[in-house]
Homo-oligomer: A and B are copies of this chain.
């Protein structure tokens, strides 16, 4: 049976979209809803933005929204907060900066906590993308703080990934260790009026060119001043152009696959937690009494 919410989402009803995302975020049963929109997916271009805190990702998102709105395109944004709003002053401030778009009916912005997921995966992010896609958003941006494996996981479901960085953030080795060198399709050196921007571009260029023949663009931008935004946007649009062409099939498949794998892991862990609880108490006692190793105990739980 199809959830009536599905029909409303498909008609682009904003309140229905909000309610649908809340439902998946809360972990309520959304099978009917998701099945109801399932045939209408795959049209939105998913752009991931990730990078360290403080690099100005939200301001950049804001600029990109404005570019798309200038072309009358509908845009959805999911900002994945690193859980803890304790840390949140800056993050909430970022949200506020995007507020100018919240009255625009062609833009749907949603903050989602990364809390609540288990498995390093982004709880309901892939479902929320599906909902925005079904609601007719032509572009869906996902913004994450690139400080954890989960952010890198999220980026697997994007069609294009923009890594946002800025001058003065640690040395090359640190940058390359962060796992961000492998995942970017575009590198933005934001706050490019700060000293060291050119050096950072040079370093990034040499690092990203090391990776298997790819040479993603590395572009200076000042999101706050609006400088370099056009060129950055052109780089995004070049990728979106590929996405819309027959050659985009592979990008589409990779993203779909990422979403399925994510959903599957979530199911796997949730099933595991359900069935392993009682057993874990039992094996823990054996381990504590040195009658079983941790490894063996873990294997028993897995085989469970």
Shortest A292–chain B CB gap in Å is: 9
A291–B125 Cα gap in the complex (Å)? 23
In the complex, which residues of chain B have a beta carbon less than 8 angstroms from the beta carbon of A115? 148-149, 177-179
User: For residue A252, which residue of chain B has the nearest CB?
Assistant: B288
Task: Annotate A239-257 by CB proximity to B: 1 below 8 A, 0 otherwise.
Answer: 0000000000100111011
Task: Annotate A250-268 by CB proximity to B: 1 below 8 A, 0 otherwise.
Answer: 0011101101110111111
In the complex, which residues of chain B have a beta carbon less than 8 angstroms from the beta carbon of A301? 260-261, 264
Grouping DSSP codes into helix (H, G, I), strand (E, B) and loop, the A interface class, with mixed when no group exceeds half, is helix
A31–B301 Cα gap in the complex (Å)? 17
CB proximity to B under 8 Å, residues A168-218: 169-170, 173-175, 177-180
A121–B88 Cα gap in the complex (Å)? 23
Return the contact of A288 from the options B42, B89, B149, B150 (Cβ within 8 A): B42
Return the contact of A86 from the options B82, B149, B169, B261 (Cβ within 8 A): B169
A290–B118 Cα gap in the complex (Å)? 28
A114–B146 Cα gap in the complex (Å)? 12
The answer to the question of A100 belonging to the interface, with a C-beta cut-off of 8 Å to chain B, is no
Return the contact of A82 from the options B113, B147, B264 (Cβ within 8 A): B147
How many residues in A have their beta carbons less than 8 Å from beta carbons of B? 81
The answer to the question of A58 belonging to the interface, with a C-beta cut-off of 8 Å to chain B, is no
A37–B298 Cα gap in the complex (Å)? 16
CB proximity to B under 8 Å, residues A269-304: 269, 271-272, 276, 280-281, 283-285, 287-288, 290, 293-295, 297-299, 301-302
User: For residue A292, which residue of chain B has the nearest CB?
Assistant: B38
Shortest A5–chain B CB gap in Å is: 16
The answer to the question of A120 belonging to the interface, with a C-beta cut-off of 8 Å to chain B, is yes
Return the contact of A38 from the options B35, B170, B294 (Cβ within 8 A): B294
The answer to the question of A165 belonging to the interface, with a C-beta cut-off of 8 Å to chain B, is yes
In the complex, which residues of chain B have a beta carbon less than 8 angstroms from the beta carbon of A106? none
Shortest A273–chain B CB gap in Å is: 8
* B88 pairs with A170, CB closer than 8 A: yes
